[in-house]
């Protein structure tokens, strides 16, 4: 059964974005009943929400059909998301006022299982009354997706703009699906292809799209981890809700990883680092007379990283019929906790084939799966490896 997440919509002009948030949440696999305030119903009709959820739309504390629903709606609910949250609903929640269905639900809910996404005019947001209300709610454990800076519906530019629907849906999922081991763990994922400069217009690189790394970053972020994506060139969109460090060359990748490794709990090396680099990059565009380029090996990034207690997962791509052979050799040579072997055919595609090889000798084969599915599997693999490393009470 899908996890239940309740979406409360209050009367902000940004209520027109609530159906987008609802759609994202249902796409993420949540069952989502919707509760509208009376003011929200003036901005957007319930039919829109009814078309997007199978769980019902509620707007009346007193309707016979909906009686007691402020308590029963919370049964089995992992999170109450209020998006958009008006200054008014925030004030009511902070003061314990329960004079309609949504405010009654908020009073009955565990504050730690509530997420507010405020949206209002800058004056309303900056007003000490609102700020005090927000701080009171935060002290009780409530969560917020901070509003952004931008053009507001009233015409001025300032703070108070509803965060992006993607960001809100991710923040909700992080709370509702927080992994007991991974929540707040610092996970570093590398993605994409590095580039080695030949001259100002040419590079040595490879065909990696960055999809595996970005899917991994998303999968860890969704389970509540603090994710840093160290990305070379990629051909897919960067995920939201993760810290991104952009690098170009293997040397830059090594420098960034060396700096963050001491504060990393797990590192997954999904990037395809160029193996060769010109001995010297030319300062001007090479001409026909310069037909040979002297190349050398790029640094072995995993081999050159300082010792650390982080869980280390390597990736290996080969063209040979037995594409797992080199991977097992690399596993021990590079002191990894596990390695993901792939055939070269998966580069650039949406589907993948992989064998996860562990130091114990255990192997897990995944055949013709979406990279997103392999990413979810690797999240569980890393969680188990981290749990094994944690001191037991
Ligand atoms: C056109 C219009 C736009 C509004 N936009 C906002 C808004 O973005 N944020 C907000 O806090 N209040 C806004 N309000 C005021 C709220 O609708 C009002 O405070 C209402 O009582 C909120 O009720 P609720 O919190 O029960 O939904 C707006 C009002 C109008 C008429």
Whether residue 69 is predicted with pLDDT greater than 70 in this model: the reply is no
Query: Do 204 and 171 share a structural domain?
Result: no
**122 occurs within a structural domain:** yes
68 falls within a domain: yes
**Within this chain, do residues 131 and 243 fall inside the same structural domain, yes or no?**
no
Q: Look at residue 181 and tell me if it is in a domain.
A: no
Q: Domain for residue 273, yes or no? A: yes
CA 227 to mean position of chain CA atoms: 7
Q: Is 376 in the pocket of ligand 1 (CB under 6 A)?
A: no
Read off the pLDDT of residues 10-54 as tens digits, 9 standing for 90 and up. Answer: 999 999 999 999 999 999 999 999 999 999 999 999 999 999 999
> Which range among 18-32, 288-302, 307-321 has the greatest average pLDDT?
18-32
Confidence band of 60 (pLDDT split at 50, 70, 90): confident
Q: How close is the Cα of 169 to the center of ligand 1, in Å? A: 22
Same domain? For 218 and 301 the reply is yes
Residues in the chain: 393
Q: Name the pLDDT band for 65 (thresholds 50, 70, 90).
A: low
CB of 229 within 8 A of CB of 214? yes
Given 141, 176, 211, the domain boundary residue is 176
Give the residue, by CA position, lying nearest to ligand 1 atom 16. 11
Q: Which atom of ligand 1 is nearest to the CA of 100?
A: 26
For residues 66 and 157, state if they share a domain.
yes
Instruction: Give the distance (Å) from ligand 1 centre to CA of residue 41.
Output: 11
Tokens found for residue 96: 């314990």
Give the end of a domain, one of 145, 176, 207: 176
Asked if residue 12 has its Cβ within 6 Å of ligand 1, the reply is yes
- As a whole number of angstroms, the distance between CA 251 and CA 247 comes to 9
Instruction: For residues 244 and 106, state if they share a domain.
Output: no
Residue 103 alpha carbon, nearest atom of ligand 1: 26
How many Å from the N-terminal Cα to the C-terminal Cα in the chain? 33
CA of 119 relative to ligand 1 center, distance in Å: 9
CA distance 227 to 223: 10
Within-domain flag for 59: yes
Alpha-carbon gap, residue 306 to 132, rounded angstroms: 46
Q: Determine the residue of 88, 97, 119 to mutate for testing ligand 1's pocket, defined as the one with the most ligand atoms within 8 A of the Cβ atom.
A: 88
CA 173 to ligand 1 centroid distance, Å: 26
- The residue whose CB lies within 8 Å of the most ligand 1 atoms, and thus the one to mutate among 10, 16, 36, 39, is 39
Domain-located, residue 109: yes
Tens-place pLDDT, residues 111-133: 999 999 999 999 999 999 999 99
Q: Which atom of ligand 1 is nearest to the CA of 11?
A: 27
What count of Cα atoms within 13 Å lies in the side-chain half-sphere of residue 157? Answer: 1
27, 82: one domain = yes
* 11 Cα: distance to centroid of ligand 1 (angstroms): 5
Same domain, 16 and 95: yes
CATH number of the domain at 218, please. 3.40.50.10300
Q: Please choose, from the candidates 204, 82, 76, 223, the residue with its C-alpha nearest in 3D space to the C-alpha of residue 92.
A: 82
Give me the CATH number covering residue 132.
Answer: 3.40.50.1950
Cα Dmax for the chain: 87
The whole-angstrom separation of Cα 194 and Cα 271 is 8
Q: Single out the residue in 176, 198, 228 at which a domain terminates.
A: 176
Ligand 1 proximity of 104 Cβ (cutoff 6 Å): no
Residues whose CB is less than 8 angstroms from the CB of residue 55 and which lie 6 or more positions away in sequence, other chains included: 4, 31, 32, 33, 34
Count structural domains, the chain. Answer: 2
> HEC states along the chain?
CCCEEEEEECCCHHHHHHHHHHHHHHHCCCECCEEECHHHHHHCCHHHHHHHCCCCEECCCCCHHHCCHHHHCCCCEEEEEEEEECHHHHHHHHHCCCCCHHHHHHHHCCHHHEEEEECCCHHHHHCHHHHHHHHHHHHCCCEECCCEEEECCCCCEEEEECCCHHHHHHHHHHHHCCCCCCCCCEEEEEECECCEEEECCEEECCCCCCHHHHHHHHHHHHCCCEEEEEECECCCCCCCCCEEEECCCHHHHHHHHHHHHHHCCEEEECCECCCEEECCCCCCCCCCCCCCCCEEECCCHHHHCCCCCCEEEEEEEECCCCCCHHHHHHHHHCCCCEEEEEEHHHCCCCEEEEEEEECCCCEEEEEEEEHHHHHHHHHHHHHHHHHHHCCCC
C-beta of 39 in contact with ligand 1 (< 6 A)? yes
**pLDDT, averaged across the chain:** 92
Residue 54 in any domain: the answer is: yes
Question: 211 with 243, same domain?
Answer: yes
For 192-218, write each residue's pLDDT tens digit.
Answer: 999 999 999 999 998 889 999 999 999
Is residue 268 located within the same domain as residue 361? Answer: yes
Query: Which tens digit of pLDDT belongs to each residue from 144-194?
Result: 999 988 777 777 787 899 999 999 999 999 999 999 999 989 999 999 999
204 and 267 co-located in one domain:
yes
Per the residue annotation, which of 154, 255, 304, 387 is the catalytic one?
Answer: 154
Q: Are residues 222 and 334 in the same domain?
A: yes
| Residue 10 forms part of a structural domain | yes
154 classed as catalytic = yes
Check whether residue 168 and residue 111 sit in a common domain: yes
The reply to whether ligand 1 has any atom less than 6 angstroms from the CB of 86 is: yes
pLDDT digits (tens, 9 = 90+) for 216-265: 999 999 999 999 999 999 999 999 999 999 999 999 999 999 999 999 99
Domain of 298? 186-389
CB 11 less than 6 A from any atom of ligand 1: yes
């Amino acid at each position: 059964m899908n996890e239940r997440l309740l979406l409360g919509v209050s009367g902000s002009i940004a209520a027109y974005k609530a159906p987008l948030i609802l759609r994202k949440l249902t796409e993420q696999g949540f069952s989502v009943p919707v509760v509208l305030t009376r003011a929200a119903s003036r901005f957007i009709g319930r039919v829109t929400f009814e078309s997007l959820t199978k769980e019902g739309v509620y707007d009346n504390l007193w309707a016979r059909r909906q009686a007691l629903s402020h308590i029963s709606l919370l049964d089995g609910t992992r999170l109450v998301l209020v998006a958009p949250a008006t200054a008014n609903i925030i004030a009511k929640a902070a003061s314990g006022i329960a004079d309609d269905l949504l405010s009654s639900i908020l009073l009955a809910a565990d504050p730690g299982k509530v997420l507010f996404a405020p949206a209002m005019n800058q004056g309303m947001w900056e007003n000490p009354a609102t700020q005090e209300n927000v701080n009171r709610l935060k002290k009780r454990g409530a969560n917020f997706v901070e509003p952004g800076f931008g053009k507001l519906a009233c015409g001025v530019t300032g703070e108070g703009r509803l965060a992006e629907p993607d960001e809100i849906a991710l923040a909700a999922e992080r709370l509702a699906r927080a992994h007991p081991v991974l929540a707040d763990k610092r996970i570093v994922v590398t993605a994409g292809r590095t580039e080695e400069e030949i001259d100002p217009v040419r590079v040595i690189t490879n065909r990696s799209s960055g999809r595996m790394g970005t899917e991994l970053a998303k999968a860890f972020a969704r389970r509540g981890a603090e994710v840093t994506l160290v990305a070379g060139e990629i051909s897919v969109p960067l995920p939201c809700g993760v810290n991104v460090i952009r690098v170009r060359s293997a040397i830059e990748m090594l420098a960034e990883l060396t700096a963050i490794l001491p504060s990393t709990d797990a590192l997954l090396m999904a990037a395809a680092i160029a193996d060769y680099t010109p001995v010297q990059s030319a300062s001007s565009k090479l001409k026909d007379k310069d037909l040979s380029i002297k190349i050398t090996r790029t640094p072995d990034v995993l081999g050159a990283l300082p010792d650390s207690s982080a869980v280390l997962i390597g990736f290996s791509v080969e063209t040979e019929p037995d594409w797992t052979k080199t991977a097992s050799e690399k596993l021990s040579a590079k002191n990894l906790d596990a390695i993901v072997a792939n055939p070269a055919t998966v580069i650039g595609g949406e589907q993948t084939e992989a064998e996860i090889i562990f130091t114990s000798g255990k192997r897990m084969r995944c055949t013709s799966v979406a990279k997103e599915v392999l990413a979810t599997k690797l999240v569980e693999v890393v969680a188990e490896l981290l749990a094994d490393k944690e001191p037991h009470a």
